[in-house]
Chain A
Amino acid sequence: MSFIVRQIALKSSGEEIVRSASYNIRELTVGRDTACAVHLPDLAVNPVHARIALAQNGRLVITAATEQPFTADGRSTLRAEIDPAVGGELALGGHRIAISLADDGKTPVLAVRRVEALSDSAEDRDLADAYSLRGLLPGKRISAWGFALLVLFAFLALPIYSYATYKPLAMKADARRPQGFHADQTWSSGPLSLSHKALGQNCQSCHTQAFVAVTDNACLTCHGKDAHDHVADKARLMQARGEPSGMAAVQRAVAGAFNRPTGRCVDCHTEHEGAGAMPATRQQFCADCHDGMKARLPDTKIADAADFGTAHPQFRPALVAGVERGKPVLRRTAWSKNLQEDNGLKFTHGQHLSKTNGIAQMVRRMPGRFAGADSLQCADCHRPDSAGVRFQPVKMEQACQSCHALGFERIGGTVRTLRHGEPELVVADLRAFYRDTAPVRPANLSGMARRVPGDAALAASAADYARAVRFHPASAGQAIDRAFSKGGMCHDCHVVTRGGTAATGGYLIQPVAQNERYFRKGWFDHKAHRKTDCTYCHASAATSMKASDVLVPGIDGKGGCRTCHVGGEGARLAGIAVKDPVESSCAMCHSYHMDDDAPWLPKGKRPKQDTNAPAGANLAIAGHPRLTMKLH
């Protein structure tokens, strides 16, 4: 007996069926072929795959029949030797052949068993899984957690980390975080406005404390100088605004509940709303307080205003009310048509702008000397200041002296003039003139000119001349009197009283105070109006016959602002017809953070610089495309 082959099959219940066969031959064949002693119905096995021979020493020698190897004790090989007493295992395809020794201690036993399923489909599998996407995609639960944690890490944990890292930089005007990306920038709800663009990477500049709404102190870290208080007394500001009602009260309550106090800078100056310029303050913000403020603040001096077109008080220009210690005293007075202001000068706009009188005739005779050809123009005397906003004070030397000359002596071709503005010098110059000069010498006292025979006439002339020379310096007094009295060159333009010192011959010139700015609470820019003829607004200039006439226009009436300017939303009073309305919200003339400069305007709304003309040049005579140009 050489071999025992045991074919072991499994029942579906798991029970083993063993079929034994004995072979009394020296060599067995193993293969798929049914003729093989060890028949393996396995497509991975060759028809004759291997031969098992019993060697003399009782060992089994297994050799592959072809070049296709088999596995012996886990190693792929073409030849193997196995001692049945020790045991071993062969693997061919899906079958295993366990080699052992029979109970008799001599006969080798080959136990054949199929260990792999016949096909992959035959293998057990969970059908619910097999028909789903499980295994092909990460599970819903794991990816849900993964995504959620990723988002929380990137957009919550990291930003908080970078906030905490740079918190010490808060409230320091110049402190900046290093260039580059900081995680809390992902919290920015929108780009910052142009002026705050540089703060884009520096969240801590404004958001100084976690869960605390942006404070005014954060703004004042940088804006200490330019953010003037509208009203120093905050309580008064709140009183002026009054208590909200209805929806606004609900909003206030909710905002309060969420730790968002009102009255902060950021209430008006909203941010993160786009990369452009900050939006202009809307009229509503002003009207909230100033509409009906008298009722809430009975002691206020400010009249109620809600809209320029319909609800704005009459202007109150600041007028010169006198001069104290060399400085004009200004007093605000409600504008009216016949408002008077004593600036110390005698001047008639009407005569000077006339086209028919002697002044006009003089202009016509000197073409090229003046701005106009047939009469004086405003620009002949009024020069804009460097910004073009207002006008320089009229200077006698530039504006008046070409006609109102102060010359009193010609030496050679040079005219000596009296010094303007210094009456002491005028008096001294006149006195010096009469002291150092003599009366004109009579012709008969010199030379060989024909004369009356005899000396009598000559002696009389000489005596007369000697007296004249003797008394010549004394005529200085008369000349001074003439200059300062009616008909004199000083008296033409100035108010002269007696009350001066001896140095001025007892005369006193009333100080002149030219008003540089009439509207001190609102902003008026002449440059923005340069295309308009001067007399369109200063309507009575051509007819004014008194220097004290106030020629600035009021809110309405001829030349008044409402002739063109309507309210912020285009509103206007019923009686006013406006040809080309200019919508004018409060911020056009007024500024919340008041100072002496122009109200702040967003960049896009600022008047464009005219590159062709220098600032302010020819301001008063510039042409106007829309309004009819009136020449005077």
Chain B
Amino acid sequence: MASSVKPPATAPSPASPAAPSAAARKTGASRERRSTHEGFLTHRRMFWAKLSGALALGLTALYIFVPLPGTHFGSSWLGYALGTIGALLILWLTMLGVRKRAITPGRWSLKGWTSAHVYLGLCVTVIGTLHSGFHFGWNVHTLAWALMLIVVASGVFGIWVYATLPRALSANRYDAEGAITERQMVEALRSIDRQIHEAAQPLDPQAAALVGQSLEQNPFGGSLWNRMTGRYPDCATHRAMMDLRALRAARQRTKDDLLGRIDALLARKDAMLDRLRQHLKLKAWLQGWLYVHVPVTFALIAALCAHVVSVFFYW
């Protein structure tokens, strides 16, 4: 997946993994570049999508047409078969966490593996639901089913952010002067901070305290909510800027417009902070779904164990 998380730093127009064929895109830099990139979604002409679709259709047909004694349920031979397939599939899907740490090319490349992970992961919802025979209740069995749905839903969300957000991420990093890296963002902030500090030396204590707050605030600070929404109502830089403007308006203009210079610096810092925070927000969404996907997967495996043990325990 890593290959599609970050667009190549040299590519001014990162191709979306969802639509690599429509590669020629214009951005701020007026260069055009054709991408030969093939994302995990379209890997091998969607071989895994077709396979999973066929599997889901086949099993649904079995569910509908195979005569079973009694009602459709996990305890019919078809139910046990579906359950076994589903459980093994879930364990295999989890193995992507191990597999992704070794990037290899070829038919069983990491990309191919990811493609299979995505489509078989979607298929497992069908298998699990058929296994349940649509009998749901407040029990460990339905818990496992619900956790499975949460995992798959978070995975689907992950695919969606991978397909859409990287473009916004690079657009945010590009401006008329070209791209800016994460390190450069911090360096730019440090530079502005130094300049603000230097310029603010002659200030009276009241104004100096305002500027000092801006310098002392952690640019990476804020709560999870601030990070996900990109809204920072407690931004000290912004507040300092506004308060200094009020001060400046109240004071008599002098030839040396110290407050004016500081205001300009603070405005620059504010703009850079906006950009950094937009970057942080996009990265948070790109990473955040994994904080659901991975832990809930392990909860699912635990529920699956309890489900299987309980069935044999009260056999």
Contacts and interface: CB of A to CB of B under 8 A. Distances in A.
Contact of B183 (A127, A156, A186, A190): A127
A184 B212 contact: no
B298 A144 contact: yes
A188 B198 CA distance: 71
A43 interface: yes
A38 B135 CA distance: 80
A137 interface: yes
Contact of B305 (A41, A150, A156, A185): A156
B285 to A, nearest CB: 10
A151 B201 contact: no
Q: Which of A32, A160, A207 has the most CB of B within 10 A?
A: A32
Contacts of A214: 315
A148 B302 contact: yes
Interface stretch (B32-40, B70-78, B244-252): B70-78
A186 B205 contact: no
Nearest to A190: B135
Interface in B127-165: 135, 137-141, 143
A503 B301 CA distance: 93
A46 B299 contact: no
Interface in B260-290: 279-280, 283-284, 287-288, 290
Interface stretch (B56-64, B101-109, B110-118, B185-193): B185-193
B223 A122 contact: no
Interface string A138-170: 101001111111111001100110010000000
A140 B291 contact: yes
A189 B301 contact: no
Nearest to B132: A189
Contacts of A127: 182-183, 186
A401 interface: no
Interface string B177-203: 000001100100110011011101101
B16 interface: no
Contacts of B294: 140, 144
Interface in B37-96: 69-71, 73-75, 77, 80
Interface in A258-281: 258-260, 270, 273-274, 279
A25 interface: no
Nearest to A143: B295
A614 B311 CA distance: 50
A190 B189 CA distance: 61
Contacts of B209: 43-44
Given A155-B306, A190-B137, A118 B313 contact: no
Contacts of B311: 189
Interface size class of B (residues with CB under 8 A): 35 or more
A140 B218 CA distance: 24
A210 B186 contact: no
Interface stretch (A128-136, A309-317, A419-427, A588-596): A128-136
B194 A186 contact: no
Contacts of B75: 189, 270
Contacts, number: 186
B77 A148 contact: no
A188 B283 CA distance: 43
B295 A144 contact: yes
A43 B138 CA distance: 61
Given A119-B197, A121-B190, A186-B140, A137 B205 contact: no
A32 B203 CA distance: 9
B23 to A, nearest CB: 27
Contacts of A108: none
A187 interface: yes
Contact of A43 (B77, B215, B223): B215
A46 B284 contact: no
A497 to B, nearest CB: 60
B307 to A, nearest CB: 8
B297 interface: yes
Given A127-B182, A187-B313, A189-B74, A155 B303 contact: yes
Given A156-B309, A188-B137, A147 B299 contact: yes
B256 interface: no
B204 interface: yes
Q: Which of A160, A186, A189 has the most CB of B within 10 A?
A: A189
Q: Which of B77, B139, B302 has the most CB of A within 10 A?
A: B302
B296 interface: yes
B257 interface: no
A203 interface: yes
B211 interface: yes
B139 A284 contact: no
B3 interface: no
A137 B313 CA distance: 37
B217 interface: yes
A273 B75 CA distance: 11
A212 interface: yes
Interface size class of A (residues with CB under 8 A): 35 or more
Given A143-B291, A270-B70, A187 B314 contact: yes
A121 B280 contact: no
A150 B295 CA distance: 12
Given A43-B197, A186-B140, A211-B312, A119 B215 contact: yes
Contacts of B305: 152, 156
A259 B311 CA distance: 13
Interface string A77-120: 00000000000000000000000000000000000000000111
B5 interface: no
A609 to B, nearest CB: 29
A577 to B, nearest CB: 29
Nearest to B213: A43
A365 to B, nearest CB: 63
A189 B295 contact: no
Given A43-B209, A260-B315, A140 B295 contact: yes
A145 to B, nearest CB: 7
Contact of A163 (B182, B201, B313): B313
Contacts of A187: 139-140, 310, 313-314
A119 B227 contact: no
Q: Which of A119, A143, A146, A186 has the most CB of B within 10 A?
A: A119
Contacts of B80: 254
A136 B71 contact: no
B216 interface: yes
B73 A273 contact: yes
Contacts of A211: 312-313, 315
B98 interface: no
A391 to B, nearest CB: 39
A143 B299 CA distance: 9
A553 interface: no
Contacts of A247: 77
Given A41-B198, A131-B279, A144-B294, 19 more contacts: A32-B201, A44-B212, A46-B205, A118-B197, A131-B280, A140-B295, A147-B302, A150-B299, A151-B143, A151-B302, A152-B306, A155-B310, A186-B139, A189-B135, A189-B137, A191-B137, A212-B315, A260-B315, A270-B70
29 contacts: A41-B201, A43-B212, A46-B205, A119-B194, A120-B217, A121-B193, A133-B284, A136-B223, A136-B224, A137-B224, A148-B298, A148-B299, A150-B299, A150-B302, A151-B143, A152-B306, A155-B302, A159-B306, A163-B314, A187-B139, A189-B311, A190-B139, A211-B313, A211-B315, A254-B77, A260-B315, A273-B71, A282-B70, A284-B69
Interface of B: 69-71, 73-75, 77, 80, 135, 137-141, 143, 182-183, 186, 189-190, 193-194, 196-198, 200-201, 203-205, 208-209, 211-212, 215-220, 223-224, 227, 279-280, 283-284, 287-288, 290-291, 294-299, 301-303, 305-306, 309-315
Interface of A: 32, 34, 41, 43-44, 46-47, 66, 68, 118-122, 125, 127, 130-133, 136-138, 140, 143-152, 155-156, 159-160, 163, 184-191, 203, 207, 210-214, 247, 251, 254, 258-260, 270, 273-274, 279, 282, 284
Q: Which 4 A-B pairs rank lowest in CB-CB distance, beginning with the nearest? A: A119-B193, A147-B299, A119-B215, A144-B298
